[in-house]
Chains A and B, each alone.
Chain A
Amino acid sequence: MEITMKPSIKRMKTVESVFDPSLKKVPKIDLQGVKVWYDDFMAIKGIDMTIKQNSITAFIGPSGCGKSTFLRLINRMNDYVDGFKMEGKIKIDGDNIYKKKVNVEELRKKIGMVFQKPNPFPKSIFDNVAYGLKIQGIKDKQFIKERVVSSLKQVALWDEVKDDLKKSGMALSGGQQQRLCIARTLAVEPSIILMDEPTSSLDPISTAKIEDLIFQLKEKYTIVIVTHNMQQASRISDYTAFFYLGELIEYDKTKTIFTNPEKKQTENYITGRFG
């Protein structure tokens, strides 16, 4: 395993040094003319946006501005909501994911999601991480075990839980639970990870750990994170999008948004004058 891995990593690096990933023709996520209704209420009022790969994009804005709805469009988690209706296109690597033929289950294997409240399954730690693989029909126990261990190591949870993998995932602390949920997502090897306020129910130390983790994950994944925490957005994200009342007000490099925003509304929100 080790021997074959090393050359491939080297090759990856040479490819990346020649082609800057940000210059690739196909952007990771391309949203065009997106409108969303819940029954008669219009939650998203027409948004165009391109989310770049191998970067962290933060969605900010006051409660009810549509940022969570917008995030959940990307892995079609709104499909089950009663009265949900949508218009527009969302393309991932050029393919519209709202086409009729799209297999939603396959799509969600490529797009992981981490939720606001840690939500481990009422199963053992091991089974929590292995679940995504088992539902794909993978039976190779050795493979599953390796993937579980590597996923837990990636989220820096391995050393804390390696002796009691059979313990219930719900017996862990809040921060550990959230890292378990991230490990569970990583085990399926997605290319995009969506995070819906992943640290809002955690203490500062757990939050710092998760932020470090998100920062490291950027190398391999495209990450979109919804956050209420302005400092968090400025600390970890490369791009920031400010939403207000179902509209995308401003979307730019995080540095620009936080130091020199174009719109007055953005400035007011960031400086805490409203929202």
Chain B
Amino acid sequence: MFKFWGIFCTLIGVVLLVIFIGNIIIDGISRINWDFIIDLPSRKPENSGIYTALMGSIWILLLTTVIAFPVGVAAGIYLEEYSKKNKLSGLLEINISNLAGVPSIIYGLLGLEVFVRIMGLGPSVLAGSLTLSLLILPIVIVATREAIKAVPSSIKDASYALGASKWQTIWHQILPASGGGILTGVILALSRAVGETAPLIVVGALAYVPFAPQGPLDEFSVLPIQIFNWISRPQAGFIENAAAAIIILLGITFIMNGVAVYFRNKWQKKWK
């Protein structure tokens, strides 16, 4: 009896996802063509494209990677390999876990105050990337720590016993062995960042930008905001555009998750 209940519960999520995607595809697939991708936004739905939003998302993605990857991985390595087990490190750990649960709009407000106003970056790509970096840092740190923990201590012992320093052991043994796990975590975190809307709206990403950003200090829009903007228009043509943009956004996140799963499987095989 429970078995059928279980199957039913499992299927709810999958069926809903399939219905949702099917619906979106029916609405939007006819709108997807090369022009849709390279056209600028316009007042007329049939002339509108996602070029500026897509380029904005790519900029955000790249800058967030550049900021969050080294900082998060370094913090993870420090917490796992260097910090002594005491009250301070315990406090740090609890707070990092807490940060992972903070609503993203709060990060947006923090970014608005610190990056946009105090640091004077304005509503720029850089301010948005810094905000999203803060948002995904806890995920990157936790993923890094888990991946490092999974490296057998016998490997570390062997390296130390041969006269390797701590850094040599981390660089030559621990990071190569945990690289797949770290990469998986970073990609999953980034795919979350690509879909974030609320913090970027607060930071000041615009609904309508006539040009793609040329540098980190330019104004920008991103795909989710473009979608949000189109959805709220009354014309049917824009709803179609929104559906098409959703397909592309989902495509990007699915591909990123697929790459993450690929790395995870490849990495797990290594230890068997």
Contacting A at CB under 8 A, from B165-207, are 165, 168, 172-173, 176-177
A215 at the B interface (CB under 8 A):
no
* Chain A residues near B154 (CB-CB < 8 A): 115, 117, 119
Nearest-neighbour CB distance to chain B for A71, whole angstroms, equals 11
B163–A132 CB distance below 8 A:
yes
Contacting B at CB under 8 A, from A173-219, are 181, 184-185, 188
A115–B157 CB distance below 8 A:
yes
State which of A40-48, A103-111, A152-160 sits at the interface with chain B.
A103-111
Known contacts A131-B172, A135-B168; A109 and B158 CB within 8 A of each other? no
Which of B157, B165, B173 touches A77 (beta carbons < 8 Å)? Answer: B157
B158–A122 CB distance below 8 A:
no
Which of B163, B173, B176 touches A109 (beta carbons < 8 Å)? Answer: B163
Contacting B at CB under 8 A, from A62-92, are 75, 77, 80, 82
A80–B160 CB distance below 8 A:
yes
B9 at the A interface (CB under 8 A):
no
Complex CA distance for A191 and B23, rounded to whole angstroms: 73
Which of B157, B161, B176 touches A112 (beta carbons < 8 Å)? Answer: B161
Contacting B at CB under 8 A, from A110-137, are 112-113, 115, 117, 119-122, 131-132, 134-136
Residue on A with the closest CB to B85? Answer: A82
Contacting A at CB under 8 A, from B258-272, are 270-271
Complex CA distance for A181 and B24, rounded to whole angstroms: 58
Nearest-neighbour CB distance to chain A for B18, whole angstroms, equals 40
Complex CA distance for A134 and B160, rounded to whole angstroms: 14
Residue on B with the closest CB to A181? Answer: B158
B162–A108 CB distance below 8 A:
yes
A113–B161 CB distance below 8 A:
yes
Known contacts A115-B154, A119-B157; A188 and B270 CB within 8 A of each other? no
Which of A109, A119, A188 touches B155 (beta carbons < 8 Å)? Answer: A119
Known contacts A106-B163, A184-B162, A185-B162; A121 and B157 CB within 8 A of each other? no
Nearest-neighbour CB distance to chain B for A18, whole angstroms, equals 33
Complex CA distance for A106 and B177, rounded to whole angstroms: 25
Contacts beyond the supplied A121-B155, A185-B161: 14 A-B pairs with Cβ under 8 Å: A77-B161, A105-B165, A107-B163, A108-B160, A108-B161, A113-B157, A113-B161, A115-B161, A121-B158, A131-B162, A131-B164, A131-B172, A184-B158, A185-B162
User: Which 8 pairs from chain A and chain B are nearest by CB?
Assistant: A109-B163, A119-B154, A113-B161, A132-B162, A108-B163, A135-B164, A119-B158, A105-B163
